Structure 1
Amino acid sequence: MNTVKQGAIELVLCDMDGTLLMPDHSISPRNFAAVKALQAIGVHFTLATGRPPRGMRDQVKQLGIELPTAAFNGGVLVSADGSYLQSHRLPYEAVRKTLEVLAHHSEVEVWVFADDEWLLRDPHGPMVAQEQNSLGYAPRVVLDFEQYGQRVDKIVATCRNVSLLAELEHQLQRAFNDQALASRSQAHYLDVTAPRANKGDALVTLANLLGVPLERTMVIGDGGNDPAMFHRAGLSVAMGQASQEVRQQAMQVTSSNLEDGVAQAIERYVLKR
């Protein structure tokens, strides 16, 4: 772990699934209280997630967040009224290449997010019910994704075979040649996004909008899409249940999301200072 390099924290950017949220997608009372305590003393708090904008509205409302949020790993910045401030879509060639690679693996479910819709071909896939429960809305079934190829915000490959997804992650990273990014937001989810759709660039943009120096920012996360913001923040905190690879890229490690790790980090590094 690196040495903490920030002064007083003015902005906290937090991941959602596996970080702020419990496994049932709820916000624990302690995490909720910690966020409200930040807001009460004037510290900015907002979210950066792999979810689509529609999949974070309930939590934004619950927490009373009035700042822009980062969806699709930073591919879309969304204002409090739901309008898009910034959007980075996948290049068509990257969309085509991704779908071509994934088509060779029948056990992998492929989801495409475009036009504010969650698109898929098989509504009975083993991971669909879980995702619908998480996002809070149903997918749209399509025969193919071709008509959406120029308007894709994110592609997700998901299956129970974690080793296969890790292999596909490396395969796509090699194939893209800077056209796109492939990273696992969770063990069973492989996200493909535009090159600038990353939480590090999102942090920089949000900090600039709020007039906060990067050295006065804190970020918290647990997945393979979070080190991008770890490397830009004044203070980076990994969740206790994150993989060793992710934890090693953060300056500090807190407890797991089952143990209110977000609240512990906020209390220790912001409120007590």
Structure 2
Amino acid sequence: MSELTRAPIRFLLSDMDGTLLLPDHSLSRRTIEAVRSLREAGVLFSLATGRPPKAMLQQIEALGVDLPTAAFNGGTLVNPDGSILVAHYLPATAALTALALFADRSDVEVWVFSGGDWLLKDPDGPMVPREQHGLGYPPVVVDSFEPYLERIDKIVATSNNADLLIELEALLLPKVQEQAQVSRSQPVYLDVTAMQANKGAALATLAEFLGVPLEHTAALGDGGNDPAMFHQAGLSIAMGQAEEAVKRQADVVTGANTEDGAAQAIEQYILNHPHRAAL
């Protein structure tokens, strides 16, 4: 669909890490200003991320987000007051299958998110400092994940060996088919969530909640968990540093997150839409 015929955007749902955020997890001034201009133009804006809800609070405040947001890849939708709008938990059978597959891999760290906590067995894993910096809070060390099986929001296998995570993704998918979503939110993170926990479903739910037809929505992201919302949105935008497989599923590609690509996309494809003033 050409820029001239595409419907003007009334709601933008954006990924956070690798999209709005710089590699150090900060927001650039240009991105903050672009989101402010978006909201001043009457375009609704919210966030969809693999992060837990409490790891979004700083960005929600900085960007002035006053709508429900999607955490855990869409598994949990959270109202602005912190109450839960929707929550989907990973089935215990799928959780056990994933944990068993990841258990004997010496170069893979396994994390479980449950009840707002980040749970792990090894607090000295090499990926822990990166995650703690990104989340803004420390993990809880446990001896076993079993007590949490009935209420797991997300399991993460993480490793600096990105090729290994691709291999594990391919191995796990057929084992949990129709039970769980398996996707790499970033090259070094393999996420396992409930089947209903995907950003596409989150976009559709939020659009309906807000009364915005899907053809008037846009999705912006960079990871393997973002095409699910690309396929629902009227306009899908991939970040410049995204893997080729992600870019191919988007309508357009913007600059990298290190180049203020999210702000570029907002300015070029949404604020400067030829029919924006008609809304």
Q: 1:35-67 CA deviation, whole Å, 9 max, x = no partner? A: 000111211010000001011111001111110
CA–CA distance in 1 between the matches of 2:137 and 2:193?
21
Shift of the alpha carbon at 1:12?
Answer: 0.4
SS in 2 for 1:242: coil
SS in 1 for 2:266: helix
Which residue is equivalent to 1:90? 90
Q: Quickly say closer, same or farther: Cα 1:119–1:3, change in 2 above 3 A.
A: farther
1:187 matched to 2:184? The reply is no
SS in 2 for 1:155: strand
SS in 1 for 2:184: strand
Question: Which AA in structure 1 matches 2:101?
Answer: V
Confirm or deny: 8 A CA contact 1:119 1:141 kept in the other structure.
yes
SS in 2 for 1:173: helix
Alignment of 1:166-185 (within 5 A): 166-185=166-185
Q: % of aligned pairs identical? A: 58
Which residue is equivalent to 2:277? none
Which residue is equivalent to 1:30? 30
Taking only aligned residues, the RMSD between alpha carbons, in angstroms, comes to 1.0
Which residue is equivalent to 1:155? 155
CA–CA distance in 1 between the matches of 2:27 and 2:14?
13
SS in 2 for 1:20: coil
Which residue is equivalent to 1:74? 74
Which residue is equivalent to 1:55? 55
CA–CA distance in 2 between the matches of 1:64 and 1:100?
41
CA–CA distance in 2 between the matches of 1:270 and 1:3?
13
SS in 2 for 1:232: coil
Q: 1:241-268 CA deviation, whole Å, 9 max, x = no partner? A: 0000000000000000000101111001
Q: After TM superposition, which residue ranges in structure 1, 4 or more long, deviate above 6 angstroms?
A: none
Which residue is equivalent to 1:224? 224
Q: 1:9-53 CA deviation, whole Å, 9 max, x = no partner? A: 000000000000001111111111000001112110100000010
Confirm or deny: 8 A CA contact 1:159 1:189 kept in the other structure.
yes
CA–CA distance in 2 between the matches of 1:179 and 1:140?
27
Shift of the alpha carbon at 1:6?
Answer: 3.5
Shift of the alpha carbon at 1:190?
Answer: 0.2
CA–CA distance in 2 between the matches of 1:22 and 1:73?
19
CA–CA distance in 2 between the matches of 1:8 and 1:177?
37
Question: Which AA in structure 2 matches 1:144?
Answer: S
CA–CA distance in 1 between the matches of 2:40 and 2:70?
22
Structure 2 runs not aligned, ≥5 long: 274-279
Confirm or deny: 8 A CA contact 1:3 1:251 kept in the other structure.
no
CA–CA distance in 2 between the matches of 1:236 and 1:3?
13
CA–CA distance in 2 between the matches of 1:120 and 1:127?
11
Q: 1:112-150 CA deviation, whole Å, 9 max, x = no partner? A: 000110000011100001100000001000001000000
CA–CA distance in 2 between the matches of 1:187 and 1:42?
35
Number of equivalent positions: 272
Shift of the alpha carbon at 1:218?
Answer: 0.7
Normalized against structure 1, the TM-score is what?
0.98
SS in 2 for 1:7: coil
Confirm or deny: 8 A CA contact 1:45 1:65 kept in the other structure.
yes
Q: 1:180-228 CA deviation, whole Å, 9 max, x = no partner? A: 0110000000000001100000000000010000000011000000000
SS in 1 for 2:77: strand
Q: Quickly say closer, same or farther: Cα 1:151–1:272, change in 2 above 3 A.
A: same
CA–CA distance in 2 between the matches of 1:172 and 1:182?
8
SS in 2 for 1:149: helix
CA–CA distance in 1 between the matches of 2:120 and 2:171?
22
Which residue is equivalent to 1:14? 14
Question: Which AA in structure 1 matches 2:155?
Answer: I
SS in 1 for 2:17: helix
Normalized against structure 2, the TM-score is what?
0.96
Which residue is equivalent to 1:138? 138
Question: Which AA in structure 2 matches 1:172?
Answer: L
